[in-house]
């Protein structure tokens, strides 16, 4: 049979179980039965070691764990007793020694766990005291340096305000710098263009200087004399061109007057011819209008005849419908008189007849719809 030591070490070697250094009485038990008993004892010992050597959780109570452990042990012992009862070769003394050994191991494990629990609780108390000491020190430091922190906060806020102002000032200066740089670039471009223009015009200056040097009889002493001469000639040329333009303008004006006179004479001739043609056309139109008037008069007379005939047909139809409506109505209604010399009265009478006819038609339509509904309901 196998037993567990206090530290959970392996069982003694040699195939014999020892209790207090003495060989047990199961040495003579058959090997198959010993194997069954050893297996059961190993399961019970493993269960005891699993429940007894488990680390204690914070805030747990040992009596509760002990009751749970003892409950598991009792269940395992019951299973062990049921298993051992089937083995007739194991003596009661060996079973008693085994139980005493197991109880001794459980007591040792319980003592060990109590000591470990006590050690852990002492460590937790020590850590709690250390935490409270550090918390009190931290509160003292916060109280001590609270004014220093407030001063630092105020300095930080002033520094942030100053930083914002400096950023705005820097942004404004950068905008000014950008504008100045743009103006400088534009001035540089203008300066470059003026230098290029000066280089282009320098050849004309050289040409004028050579012209003054090569002039005969020293006509031009300096370059400015040549330029003044050019200005004088240019002014004279401008005046001559203006005179030429004025002469051309006068010639164009006289040509236009001549063209206007010719156009006026031609237009006058065309107007006279047009008047003659229009008079002839008017005579033709009068002839055609006379013929059309005669045709229209005939058409009007024919239309009046047709209108009279259609009016009579309409009045006759209204009378017939009105008479039929009066004859088919269950309620007696006074007939409207159709006689009268005044056209307005006759028109009013016809209007009354038409209203009566419309009301009768609406009634008949309603009767038809009600009959259809009655027929559908009857079919259902």
Distances (CA, A) of 326 to 5, 319, 336, 365: 131, 10, 10, 17
Joined together, the tokens standing for residue 30 give: 């058959």
Our measurement of the distance from residue 256's CA atom to the centroid of its chain's CA atoms, rounded to an integer in Å, reads 74
369, 338 Cβ separation under 8 angstroms: no
Residue/partner pairs of 345-353 with CB below 8 Å, 24 or more apart: 350/315, 350/318, 353/318, 353/319, 353/321, 353/322
Is residue 17's pLDDT more than 60? no
- Single pTM value for the model: 0.24
Instruction: Tell me the C-alpha distance between 28 and 119, whole Å.
Output: 46
Instruction: Tell me the C-alpha distance between 296 and 302, whole Å.
Output: 10
pLDDT band (50, 70, 90) for residue 242: very high
Contacts of 353 (CB under 8 A, 6+ apart): 318, 319, 321, 322, 336
Instruction: Tell me the C-alpha distance between 343 and 85, whole Å.
Output: 140
Residue 49 φ then ψ, to 5°: -65, -35
Weakest mean pLDDT among 16-20, 222-226, 267-271, 365-369: 16-20
- pLDDT (tens digit per residue) in 78-130: 666 666 565 545 567 788 888 888 888 888 888 889 888 889 998 899 989 89
Residue 331's SS3 state is: coil
Joined together, the tokens standing for residue 81 give: 């007793």
Query: What is the residue whose two structure tokens read 């195939």?
Result: 15
Q: What is the pLDDT of residue 4?
A: 37
Q: What is the pLDDT of residue 89?
A: 52
Mean pLDDT of 3-13: 39
Q: What is the pLDDT of residue 6?
A: 38
Distances (CA, A) of 163 to 150, 154, 156, 159, 292: 19, 14, 10, 6, 102
Residue 371's SS3 state is: helix
Write the Ramachandran bin of 184: left for phi over 0, alpha for psi from -120 to 50, otherwise beta.
alpha
Instruction: Tell me the C-alpha distance between 284 and 278, whole Å.
Output: 10
Per DSSP, what are the bridge partners of residue 219? none
Instruction: Tell me the C-alpha distance between 166 and 147, whole Å.
Output: 28
Residue, of 252 and 145, whose pLDDT is higher:
252
Residue, of 48 and 336, whose pLDDT is higher:
336
Residue, of 345 and 53, whose pLDDT is higher:
345
Helices 92-144 and 146-213 pack at an angle, to 10 degrees, of 60
Q: What is the pLDDT of residue 293?
A: 87
Query: What is the residue whose two structure tokens read 């194991």?
Result: 90
């Amino acid at each position: 049979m196998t037993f567990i030591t206090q530290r959970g070490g392996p069982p003694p070697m040699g195939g014999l179980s020892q209790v207090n250094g003495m060989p047990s009485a199961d040495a003579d038990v058959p090997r198959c039965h010993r194997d069954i008993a050893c297996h059961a004892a190993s399961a019970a010992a493993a269960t005891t070691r699993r429940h007894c050597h488990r680390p204690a959780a914070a805030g747990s109570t040992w009596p509760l764990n002990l009751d749970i452990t003892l409950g598991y042990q009792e269940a395992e012992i019951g299973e062990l007793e049921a298993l051992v009862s089937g083995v007739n070769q194991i003596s009661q003394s060996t079973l008693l020694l085994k139980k005493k050994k197991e109880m001794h191991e459980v007591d040792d494990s319980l003592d060990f766990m109590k000591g470990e629990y006590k050690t852990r609780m002492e460590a937790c108390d020590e850590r709690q005291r250390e935490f409270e000491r550090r918390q009190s020190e931290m509160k003292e430091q916060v109280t001590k340096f609270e004014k220093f922190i407030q001063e630092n906060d105020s300095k930080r806020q002033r520094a942030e305000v100053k930083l914002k102002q400096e950023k705005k000032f820097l942004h404004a200066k950068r905008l000014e710098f950008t504008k100045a740089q743009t103006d400088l670039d534009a001035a540089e471009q203008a300066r470059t263009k003026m230098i290029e223009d000066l280089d282009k015009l320098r050849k004309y200056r050289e040409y004028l200087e050579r012209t003054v040097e090569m002039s005969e009889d020293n006509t031009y002493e300096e370059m400015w004399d040549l330029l003044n001469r050019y200005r004088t000639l240019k002014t004279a040329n401008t005046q001559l061109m203006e005179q030429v333009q004025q002469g051309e303008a006068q010639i164009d004006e006289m040509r236009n007057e001549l063209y206007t006179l010719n156009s006026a004479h031609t237009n006058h001739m065309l107007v006279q011819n047009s008047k003659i043609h229009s008079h002839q056309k008017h005579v033709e139109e009068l002839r055609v209008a006379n013929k059309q008037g005669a045709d229209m008069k005939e058409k009007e007379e024919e239309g009046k005849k047709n209108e009279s005939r259609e009016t009579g047909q309409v009045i006759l139809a209204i009378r017939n419908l009105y008479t039929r409506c009066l004859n088919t109505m269950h309620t007696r209604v006074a007939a409207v008189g159709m006689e009268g010399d005044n056209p307005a009265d006759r028109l009013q009478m016809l209007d009354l007849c038409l209203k009566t006819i419309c009301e009768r038609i609406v009634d008949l339509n309603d009767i038809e719809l009600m009959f259809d509904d009655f027929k559908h309901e009857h079919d259902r």
